[in-house]
Each structure stands twice: as C-alpha cells, then as structure tokens.
Structure 1
C-alpha cells in the first residue's frame, strides 16, 4: 500500500532531483527509440545497454544507478502492457515541457534518517510526516505535481484489514445526478452535491481576473506576476478537487461496508461539459465518486454490477412498465401511468438499477416489463 507525504526540498535538492529526472527521461526516450526502430527492447537488453552507456557517458555516471534502472523497468512493463491490455497505447517520448518529474527508488537507493528522506548521490530532503508508516518501506517514488510541490510515495507492506461482513441479501442501487451527486435506494447513503468549487468561486474569480490583467497579450513567456496569479488559481482548483475526492472516498467506504451487492449506473459524465451546467457537473465530481466506489468495492470483495443508464429513468420500479415519453430534466417526480406509483425521479431510477442487477443483468431491456421487479412473479427474459 502507498503512503504519500509532502516534501520540502531546498534549492540544491530541487536542482539535483531535476538533474536525475533529465537523465531518466533521456534513458526512457532512448528505449522508445529502440522500440520504434524494431529492436524489441526487453528489460534484460535495456539493462545491458544502460551498463554500456554509463561506462562511456560521464553525464549518466553523475546520477544514481537505481532510478535509471527503475525507469527502464517501468518502460519494459509499459511496453508489455501495451500488447496485453486492450486500448493501452505504446510508450511515447517524454518531453521536457509536458512531463512532470517522477523518480523511483528501490530499498537500496534510499533511507529515512532523522525525519529526512536520504536518496542516492547524497540528496537529503525534509519530509512532512503527517502520519506514521506502519512498517519499513520497500520503495519510494519521488514526484512533482503540476503546482510544483514535491511528494514522496512510500510502498509499505501491511496486514489486510478485514471489511465488515455484509448480509448476502443487502443491495443498493445508485443513480448519478448533478443536483444530488448520488441518489441511492437507501436515502441515508445519498451523496449530496457538496460544491467545493462553488465555495471558492470568489477567490478563484479574483485570481483569474489578475491573470487577465497581467497577461501581456502576446504568445510566449509571461511575467512573474502572471505566473503567481496562475499558480494561485491552480492551487484553488486542486484544493477543491482533493476535497471532492476525500468526500467521495469516505462515502464509498460507508456504502461498501454495509452492502454486499452494489448496482451502479454506468454513467459517463463527459457529455455534461457541453450542456448548460458544465461548472456544476464538474463540481459534482461524478467520475471521481464512481471510480472510488468501484475501487473500494473491489478491494473489499463486494459484487459490483454496472447497469446501462438507458431507460432507467423511464421505467417504473413498482410494475416495471416503461413510459412512452422521456422525462425532461425539469421533471423531478416520476409517475407511472400503469399503476399510479409516484416517487422521486432519481430514487425510482436507483430502484430500477438495483432490480436489474439482482436479476444478473446489465440492461433494463433484459428484464421483463410486464411484472414488478420486487414481486414474486418477476421473471427475466
């Protein structure tokens, strides 16, 4: 498991880390060039090439050997996955401008002494120990984010904490939305719209107006004042994103702890960016919440069923009859013309999603529309 901590490197340490990264990036790009010329590089071949390159290149010898070996190992794994995993592309060149520094050290390339992280070649960095490590780390990844902050991500082996057992018959259906991020079949597990970006909108607008005033109007490098305003705006946006992910993680854990079957609407929120509510949709963080829920359920061994969103809003959760016309977004109440059932639009959709998953299907069309999904006479087709 990974534990991440903020680093406080000095100017000399930053220069040393960036120099190490340029060497590693050079080796990665050389490996990509080997693959593009048809030489089929494996980790064993790349290791031999690294040994030969270090013997002839003094610039490479100035850097530590451990991160150079690790980036070639990472490249070999990426190349292997590009053939084995569907949709995974081939490794590409890492450019100086578009790639953030990331260095991997195995146990022989780092140590922790006196509250500091000591890396190979004498790089010593203070660490903000926000919590204790449960065991000795086996490796560490030192990386820089888009704001210029450095972090250390330690890999630690620890005992697996058992997830509380849930009843075999306990299930929950989840329908995604914007006004309420997640509406479930059990109201106590709803995830409301938290609006972290909305709360910092005034500060963000102030920073963006500073950016507009300080922009020179020309392409190319901008002033230091513009860069400061840009960093302030990016910091606010990243803060809101981290708050949304933290809340989504806490919500996902509560859902997973109490339910054995989790039926999730397989909703892709990309189209909302072209709608009339892109800002609120981004703030709702539907994609992040869905990802955290699926990952948390997989770690706990829960059953997750992704149900296609088609017709979930038009179908009655009481008699499973389908409405003849689509419900507009302004209509927040569902009313069945067949049985007279009335309920919240999203709550009804969540119940339909759960009913489809309980019958081991992933689409509403796969379940009979002639009878109630919660009755004894339900059958699947």
Structure 2
C-alpha cells in the first residue's frame, strides 16, 4: 500500500527532543551528501559503477559501528535517506519527469527526518491535541487540526521559521464506486493584476495582500539590518556570523514562513472550491520557469529592463501558478472531476463571441477586451477564461487531462 494522501500538522517537541531532532536533521544531510558523493565518484570512475541503496546500506551498518553521532540516528531514518536518493536518481533518468540531477544539501537549507510508518504510533489526547511516538524520542505532542483517516505509511519531521511540523503519508482505500462530479465546466485564467478569473463569474477573485503595510516595513528593515550585519562580519569577524545576525536571520525566516503559509492557505481554499463545485476544470498550459526567466543576458549581449523583468518574475512566483495547477490535479480527481490543460497561445487575443484572433482587440495591458471584428467587449481575463473553457470542451483536452499537475496525460 502506497500513501495517496498527506496531512501536515504542527509538532510541539520539548527542548530536549527539539535539540535531538536538530542533530538528526544534520546527520541525515551528512548521510545524503556522502552517499551522493560516493555515487558520483563511482559512476565517473573507469568501471562506470552504479551504486544503489542496497549496496550503501551495508556500508551504513559498518559506519554506525564506528561513529556514535551516526549511531544516535535511528537506522530506519538513515536507510530512508538512501532510498530517497534512489528515487531522486530514478526521477532524473525518467524523461517524463521534470526533476534534475540530485544536488548536495546545504547546511542552511530545508532539513528534515523521515520515519517509516511501522515505527510511528498516534494516540489522541483531547479534541485538538494528540501524541505521536517517534523512535528514540518517545511521545511528542502535536496539534490534531484534522483527523487522520487511513493507514500511516510514513512520516517526515521538518522545521521552518514558525516551528516544527510533521507530515504523515496516509493510504486511504479507493471508493467502491468512483465519484462523479456533475458540476458545470469552468475555465480558469491565472494572472497578476487579477489573480484568478473564472468563466462563470462576472468579477475576479483577487488575492488580498499577504503582508500588511506594517509587516512590509518590518521585513524591509530586517533585511537592511541583515545586510549591515553581514558587512560588519566580513570586515571585523572574518565572515563569522554573530548571535545578533543569526537572530535577525531567524526573524526574517519567521516572516517568510508566515508569508508562505498565508499564500498556501488562499491557494488551498481556491482549489478546494473549484474542485468541489465543477466537474471539468480547464486551465492554461503555462511553463512558469520559462515565463520567469531572467532578462539580464550576457556580457556581450546585456539584457534590457532587467529590474522591471525581475519584479515581474517575483510577482509570477508570488501568485503560485504551478502550485494551483498541482493542487487542482489531485483535488479534482478526489472529487470526481477532471482537470484539462489547454494550449495557452491566443487565449487573451481571441474573441469569445466570434472566435477571431486579432492582437488589436487587446491593446496594451489594460483590462478591456474590445473585438475589432464583431464589437464584443468584455473584461480581458473573463474573455480569456471563456476561451480556455471552450477549448477544453471542443478539443476534449487536446493538451491532455492531467491528474498530477505536471502536464502528463
């Protein structure tokens, strides 16, 4: 049984447990980096050897006898790191997967510890609180924001600027009779000036500002303070970070984590509403990485309006278009609907009434669409959303229905 759904909850370890978890995260990072370095060296050698987790688990057992810091980490957690490295290699060699070559983990990057489902137990303490049993840690408190229904197959503990979290991979049995969503079809146009415009609505759904003016001012002040402290450390401390600098970095991480959580909350509410109320959801096949590519160019051919393009790229990433598409992929399937991805070219220049594509109908970057052939006028994003819906219905998703969010049929 593989995990087909996940649940991420807040974890509240005590000071001793938190200190040990931090040590384990660094140990997992060291195991991954050493294992990846060994695989790269073995493949680049004269024999072109491919090393897998089965071979490295034997070496891991020998290393645990010699190093106490490695022996403190549960053996199953270290073995899962090696298996995750196998998965990363398999994704890299799979031409249908967008993953790149596995990278070495940085000390200040995102860290975590993975546990197998057999080693994890959960018991409910009250209506909103529960405890989870982790090997060598004992019972750890967690907030039961939602019930965990199904069989826990794995668990991963991670830390961000707001504290510790645990994500459970849960297997839920498929329903005997597949669900069928009979809701009306809808086209979804994603943008920046208008966050989301649906073909079935007359007004846009604009995401509110994530940060208030006071929070933006505080974040800007913290980033300026961090820059000054880094300059001072390079001039007087040979680049070593002081406690004040680390405290400033932690405060920035807290605000960034809060920003990410608010963005994810809005996206989840949007995608859940679309998946529950519509049987067919049509979106554009947007390649976000290409759209947000830098315009700085090269030394021989420098780019133009680099700062303006950088600001546009930040706005694109801030909207989370790919995350919306990924969430719609699995939520539509769970609700009995279908997500259809249609080609993007021409949706904002084609008239939804007469079907004629003319760039003159959409002059500038305004919000008005005025067809120069039939005289039809409408909001530009609503006109594009209707075109997206009609393309999905007429071509039956020529670009392919997707259930994973990666554009694979």
In structure 2, distance between residues paired with 1:345 and 1:280: 19
Report SS of the residue matched to 1:74. helix
TM-score (norm: length of structure 1)? 0.81
Match of 1:305 among 333, 337, 340: 340
Structure-to-structure mapping, 1:62-73, within 5 angstroms? 62-73=72-83
1:51: Cα distance to partner?
Answer: 2.4
In structure 1, distance between residues paired with 2:354 and 2:331: 33
Give the aligned length.
Answer: 359
Matched with 1:369 is none
1:301: Cα distance to partner?
Answer: 4.7
Match of 1:4 among 4, 8, 12: 8
Paired residues of 1:181 and 1:193 also in contact (CA < 8 A): yes
Report SS of the residue matched to 1:156. strand
- Cα RMSD of the aligned pairs, angstroms, is 3.2
Report SS of the residue matched to 1:13. helix
Matched with 1:49 is 59
Match of 2:214 among 202, 208, 225: 202
Mark the CA change 1:204 to 1:173 in structure 2 (over 3 Å): closer, same or farther: same
Mark the CA change 1:292 to 1:53 in structure 2 (over 3 Å): closer, same or farther: same
Matched with 1:357 is 392
Report SS of the residue matched to 1:137. strand
Once structures 1 and 2 are overlaid, which stretch shifts more, 30-39 or 326-335? 326-335
Paired residues of 1:2 and 1:153 also in contact (CA < 8 A): yes
Structure-to-structure mapping, 1:140-219, within 5 angstroms? 140-145=155-160, 147=161, 149-160=163-174, 165-167=180-182, 170-187=184-201, 192-197=205-210, 199-213=211-225, 215-216=228-229, 217-218=231-232, 219=234
Mark the CA change 1:111 to 1:175 in structure 2 (over 3 Å): closer, same or farther: closer
Match of 1:129 among 130, 144, 162: 144
In structure 2, distance between residues paired with 1:56 and 1:223: 34
Paired residues of 1:163 and 1:300 also in contact (CA < 8 A): no
In structure 2, distance between residues paired with 1:299 and 1:324: 39
Matched with 2:99 is 88
In structure 1, distance between residues paired with 2:249 and 2:68: 39
In structure 2, distance between residues paired with 1:148 and 1:176: 29
Please list every run of 5 or more consecutive structure 2 residues that lacks an aligned counterpart in the other structure: 44-48, 295-307, 400-409
1:32: Cα distance to partner?
Answer: 1.2
Matched with 1:246 is 265
Mark the CA change 1:270 to 1:110 in structure 2 (over 3 Å): closer, same or farther: same
1:123: Cα distance to partner?
Answer: 5.0
Mark the CA change 1:139 to 1:289 in structure 2 (over 3 Å): closer, same or farther: closer
1:320: Cα distance to partner?
Answer: 0.8
1:141: Cα distance to partner?
Answer: 1.0
Paired residues of 1:181 and 1:286 also in contact (CA < 8 A): no
Mark the CA change 1:201 to 1:76 in structure 2 (over 3 Å): closer, same or farther: same
1:194: Cα distance to partner?
Answer: 2.1
In structure 1, distance between residues paired with 2:389 and 2:92: 35
Paired residues of 1:13 and 1:124 also in contact (CA < 8 A): no
Q: Flag the structure with larger Rg.
A: 1
Mark the CA change 1:99 to 1:229 in structure 2 (over 3 Å): closer, same or farther: closer
Deviations 1:34-54, CA, capped at 9 Å, x for gaps: 321223122321222222333
Matched with 2:299 is none
Matched with 1:120 is 135
Paired residues of 1:264 and 1:353 also in contact (CA < 8 A): yes
